[in-house]
Amino acid sequence: MGKCSIAFFILTFVYMVGAFSARDLSLPTPVNGLSWTFYNTSCPSLESIVRKRIDFYLNQDITQAAGLLRLHFHDCFVQGCDGSVLLSGTSSERVAAPNLSLRKMAFTIINNIKARVEAACSGIVSCADILALAARDSVNKAGGPFYRLPLGRRDSLGFANKSTVNDSIPAPTFNVTGLMSVFSRKNLTLRDLVALSGGHTIGRANCSSFDNRLHNSTTGENEEDPTLDQTFANHLFLTCPTNTSVNTTNLDIRSPNVFDNKYYVNLLNRQTLFTSDQTLYSDSRTRDFVIGFAGNQTSFFEQFVLSMLKMGQLSVLTRSQGEIRKHCEVPNPTSSVFSIFNPQVSSSSYST
């Protein structure tokens, strides 16, 4: 065997080992009511339908992967993975400040998938499960790991109020202490924090999300965050010349549309947008995780899978709780939309 053939064999073997370990981890036991085989009999075509629609949309625009992943995050972090973020209305979660920048197309894609699933298996599959599957398949389509998902979530009957949304979604200006004040309430660890933050390897951000690193909040004058790489900062000032700029830019300057570990490489080089990103490298509590993921993409993928599975089972509704919505944006005709914190809601309707 020639040297080139040997090298090719070694690279192929390394790739296969990485792919295998990211896909075939020892996965945690699903929470009560969820199952690895939940729809095997009732809707066996579910995962195929979701995958084909994700392929359809992302083949046209791969940037939608970030929007779908973020939508899943924002659903799970507020009152659990119950599809409540998908409900529309003048007082819904969607109009709370942290959710105003969620991609409209992400909602459209979920609604389209739901219609396809309803045509195949009417009244069987929840919007919450479809959102979890769409996020998983979007990550994989963008180059990230594929992993099994426990299913069986049911949809909420209502949504959280604005103050709860504001309190539950970590802000891009947070440091590690602020981030963990949110994550620890979800029983998510520092390792989970760093791994889930790796979702910022795809997507874009508005200038307003990182303006605190460029301009004085009171005077609007240029005031550069000293933790920014100078060349990177110069680029950001071109994109966001004033504190009222409304432009957007990629979260990952190295491979903006590929789900990989370059986000962590960016952290090492002080080339990330948010305070909440750079703090993961600046803070000694999380720095080693960042360094480890930057040097080993397989390690990042494995932990991302575990952390996603953990997050994706937060306060899920199962069995007789909630409902299976026919349309993701509205409750079923026999239901009525109300705040999850309405005192008339029975505590038996929601998991704790």
Domain ranges of the chain: 45-203+251-312
Does 82 belong to an annotated binding site? yes
pLDDT of residue 27: 87
* Residue 349 scores a pLDDT above 70: no
Q: Which range among 12-26, 106-120, 199-213, 332-346 shows the weakest confidence by mean pLDDT? A: 12-26
> What is the fold, at CATH topology level, of the domain defined by 45-203+251-312?
Peroxidase; domain 1 (1.10.520)
Span 82-95, average pLDDT: 97
- pLDDT for 5 equals 40
According to the model, what pLDDT value does residue 202 have? 98
* Pick from 73-87, 88-102, 326-340: least confident: 326-340
Separation of alpha carbons 164 and 88, rounded Å: 17
Q: Which amino acid is residue 267, in one-letter code?
A: L
Distance CA 19, CA 332 (A): 41
Q: What is the pLDDT of residue 337?
A: 54
3-class secondary structure for 28-78?
A: CCCCCCCECCCCCCCCCCHHHHHHHHHHHHHHHCCCHHHHHHHHHHHHHHH
What does the pLDDT read at residue 26?
Answer: 79
Per-residue confidence (pLDDT) for residue 3, from 0 to 100: 41
Active-site residue identified among 74, 215, 235, 327: 74
| Of 8-12, 236-240, 256-260, 280-284, the least confident | 8-12
On whether 288 is known to bind a ligand per the annotation, the reply is no
Check whether 18 has a pLDDT greater than 80.
no
Is residue 16 over pLDDT 60?
no
The tokens describing 124, both together, are 């069987």
Say what percent of the chain tops pLDDT 70.
88
Q: What is the pLDDT of residue 338?
A: 53
Backbone angles phi, psi at 136, to 5 degrees: -60, -45
Max distance between CA atoms of the chain, in angstroms, equals 74
Question: For 280-304, what is the mean pLDDT?
Answer: 98
Q: What is the mean pLDDT of residues 209-227?
A: 96
* Model confidence at 263: pLDDT above 70: yes
**pLDDT at residue number 271:** 98
pLDDT at 25: 63
243, 246, 248, 251: CA torsion to nearest 10: 40
Report pLDDT for 71.
Answer: 98
Q: How far apart are CA 252 and CA 306, in angstroms?
A: 23
Whether residue 7 is predicted with pLDDT greater than 80 in this model: the reply is no
Alpha helices in 121-217 (DSSP H): 127-141, 162-168, 176-183, 190-197
Q: Which pLDDT does position 324 carry in this prediction?
A: 98
28: confidence class by pLDDT, cuts 50, 70, 90 = confident
Q: What would the mean pLDDT of 195-222 be, rounded to a whole number?
A: 97
Whose tokens are 């998510």? That residue is 188
* pLDDT given for residue 336 in this prediction: 57
215 annotated binding-site participant: no
Averaged pLDDT for residues 159-176: 97
pTM: 0.88
80 is in an annotated binding site: yes
Q: 327 catalytic, yes or no?
A: no
Does the structure show a pLDDT above 50 at 6? no
Per-residue pLDDT, averaged over 19-47, amounts to 84
Query: Residue 146 pLDDT > 80, yes or no?
Result: yes
Does 10 have pLDDT greater than 90? no
* Tens-digit pLDDT profile for residues 230-251: 999 999 999 999 999 999 999 9
pLDDT single digits (tens) 324-348 = 999 999 999 986 555 444 333 322 2
Does the annotation list 265 as a binding residue?
Answer: no
- What's the pLDDT at 15? 37
| pLDDT averaged over every residue in the chain | 90
Nearest 10 degrees: CA dihedral of 174, 177, 178, 179? 80
CA neighbor of 92 nearest in space, from 9, 194, 148, 160: 160
- The response to whether 260 counts as a known ligand-binding position is yes
* 256 appears as a binding residue in the annotation: no
Question: Does residue 8 have a pLDDT over 60?
Answer: no
The answer to whether 252 is annotated as binding is yes
